[in-house]
Structure 1
Amino acid sequence: MSKMKTKYMLFLVMVVCCLLIGCGQASDGKQSDGKQSDSKRLRVVTTIFPYYDFVKQVAKDKVELTWLLPSGLDPHAYEPTPKDMLTIKNSDLFVYNGGDMEAWVPKVIKASDNKSKTLQMMDYVKTVEEVTVEGMMKEEEGEEDSGDIEYDEHIWTSPKKAKIIVTEIAKQLGKLDPKNDAFYTKNAKNYCNKLSSIDSDIEKIMKDKVRDSIVVGDKFPLRYLVDDYHIKYRAAFVGCSSQTEPDAKTLSYLINYVKKNNLKYVLHIENSNCKVANAITNETNTSQLEFNSLHTLTKKQLKNHDSYISIMKKNVAVLKQVLDE
């Protein structure tokens, strides 16, 4: 407990020092809209990629947009730098996800006396508790358990939830910038139409499916997707667990599940070491496919102009292949 207090105090000292220094902002590899600073435009900062892309599609060039996390970085491993804290402090709107993944956010906002509008997206959708389904490896013994309910954070993985998020972003931008309210509303509606198209594609897959379940030999950040579309699933680890090595019981269960249900594919998440998926496919003579949970984008993906929509379309194709063959 004393170590936790010490760590928290050091964190606060870093924040305070950052604010006292008052140094200028620099991107340090952060993604921005590439335009020069304009005091007349809203300064919007987002944490994870989906929200950066949503704001970009809704606001276009009407805002100064910054994606706070460096491309390719797992949001669960992110710690804000002093410059990041200043970027947040100086923003007009700070869009973040919430949950344990971003436990650092409330501390930064409180310590910096942030006056900007904050938008925690988990407040706007119905969240669900993390669950350990049959066969899934339980959390490692010795990990701290506060007794609090743990909610799954990965709300953006479902197009149905994404539409809610985009609509709320447009509303908040309109409140902060009334003269462009109609512009934001129109763009949000057009973008939601694209999301609705993806939504319809998944609904059709579920209607015409040959198989009704998937196996993810990996962590499982797809809870909102499978819940919204009633997809049966089994996975190695809960949520975005830090575990990478399954026990023999979990591995045996998943192998038997694949065989019993005559599945042809095993999924893994992007940037995975694929240890679990490899073990399952080796024992079941199946193939692997990647499902992208959109936590972040690599520099290569950014260079290729990948987006939430383009990646979700690839995910839809993967889902169709898994459930149709």
Structure 2
Amino acid sequence: MKKHNDMGRVTTQGARATWGAIALIGSLLAGCGSAPVGEGESDRPRVVTTTTVIAHWTQELGGDAIELVPLMDPGVDPHIYEPVPADTVAIESADLIFYNGYDLEPGLIRIIEATGIDATVVPVAESVSPLDMEQEGQRVPDPHVWGDVSHAVTMVETMRDQLIALLPEERDRIQQNATDYITQLRSLDAWVTEQVATIPAHQRQLVTTHDAFQYYARAYGLEVPGTLIGISTEEQPSAQTVQRLVDTIRTLNVPAIFAETTLNPQLITTVAQEAGVPLADQELYSDSLGAQGSRGDTYITMIEANTEAIVVNLGGQFTPFSP
């Protein structure tokens, strides 16, 4: 029987895999595309995460006090991610599970809800009131809440509280990590506002492949006149949708449009060619952080890289972020 509290926390009772079985199955499933379960027994609590953004925040807060098991690699699109058997093994072995929620990662959410586990399960994004968007004729919550950095603060605070509940003996350490990181996020939030304000008002038009930037746009003073597909990358644009977007871009004299790192750029490249506008050289990070060493390998550098691309290509004046 599942028990829900007002934060969307879920606990279930069920059989847990032994560490010996976990190690064995993990070795058998190596190379299957999911994060390894790990070798040997650890006395640290195991925290399983879905998206790369949430994994990064978990590491920032918990450090080496936890055993972090991220299920997705950088560059993976959570909308269409297909879980592998190792993901179920990791979920069953977890003490705490952080996932985005609002149906961002439907494949993993189905496993989390169906698997018999004894863990605290937290849909982190659901600590933020969502925007309602249209998808296939229905109104659904937009899951891309981290685009507004003030929402990131709320999500990090939720994660901080859950980690402290898991590790009360590490309260001071986790609290300090959170305080330091949230200070950086608040500075980042103000900086993005300043950067976008340098774009001429009539050029603050953000056109991307899929509708992942509504929170960013609304927080920082941009308009999203159209996208190639909606909030889920499972959608396929029709020829009419492509033509409407081309017409909108021409009508508004949009200076440039943007591809995204997790999506094939072919169709948005075609839109740019048909509309006669540049496709920005820098792809935007939407649903995933970049690979280690890339411009967007942390949440802060992801937001900075996206902001630079948007500001420069829409005619603003960019100044690098200094925390």
- TM-score norm. by structure 2 comes to 0.79
Larger mean Cα displacement after TM superposition, 187-196 or 69-78: 69-78
Larger mean Cα displacement after TM superposition, 112-121 or 304-313: 304-313
After superposition, the Cα gap between the structure-2 partners of 1:71 and 1:206, relative to the gap in structure 1 and judged at 3 Å, is closer
Within-5 A mapping of 1:308-319: 308-319=299-310
**Which amino acid in structure 2 is aligned with residue 53 of structure 1?**
H
In 1: Cα distance, 2:36 partner to 2:22 partner: 19
**Which amino acid in structure 2 is aligned with residue 295 of structure 1?**
D
Confirm or deny: 8 A CA contact 1:170 1:185 kept in the other structure.
yes
**Which amino acid in structure 1 is aligned with residue 284 of structure 2?**
N
SS at structure 2 position matched to 1:270: coil
Deviations 1:95-140 (CA, angstroms, capped at 9, x unpaired): 00113333344543454321111111132001111137xxxxxx4x
Could you tell me which of 287, 292, 299 is aligned with 1:302?
292
Long gaps (5+) in structure 1: 1-15, 133-138, 140-144
1:229 aligns with 2:193: no
Within-5 A mapping of 1:223-302: 223-234=214-225, 235-248=227-240, 250-289=241-280, 290-297=282-289, 301-302=291-292
Deviations 1:258-301 (CA, angstroms, capped at 9, x unpaired): 33333221112223333343233224442112443442346xx2
**Which amino acid in structure 1 is aligned with residue 197 of structure 2?**
K
Shift of 1:202: 1.6
2:6 alignment partner in structure 1: none
Confirm or deny: 8 A CA contact 2:208 2:228 kept in the other structure.
yes
Could you tell me which of 42, 46, 50 is aligned with 1:43?
46
Deviations 1:152-179 (CA, angstroms, capped at 9, x unpaired): 1112222121111111111110111011
After superposition, the Cα gap between the structure-2 partners of 1:270 and 1:244, relative to the gap in structure 1 and judged at 3 Å, is farther
**Which amino acid in structure 1 is aligned with residue 259 of structure 2?**
H
**Which amino acid in structure 2 is aligned with residue 124 of structure 1?**
S
Deviations 1:3-59 (CA, angstroms, capped at 9, x unpaired): xxxxxxxxxxxxx9996995535264545798x756331211100100000011111
After superposition, the Cα gap between the structure-2 partners of 1:231 and 1:37, relative to the gap in structure 1 and judged at 3 Å, is farther
1:320 alignment partner in structure 2: 311
Within-5 A mapping of 1:1-325: 22-24=21-23, 25-26=25-26, 28=31, 29-31=33-35, 39-105=42-108, 107-131=110-134, 139=136, 149-212=139-202, 213-234=204-225, 235-248=227-240, 250-289=241-280, 290-297=282-289, 301-302=291-292, 304=294, 306-325=297-316
SS at structure 2 position matched to 1:266: coil
After superposition, the Cα gap between the structure-2 partners of 1:80 and 1:263, relative to the gap in structure 1 and judged at 3 Å, is closer
After superposition, the Cα gap between the structure-2 partners of 1:257 and 1:94, relative to the gap in structure 1 and judged at 3 Å, is same
- TM-score norm. by structure 1 comes to 0.78
- In the alignment of these two chains, the number of paired residues is 293
Long gaps (5+) in structure 2: 1-13, 317-323
Confirm or deny: 8 A CA contact 1:267 1:291 kept in the other structure.
yes
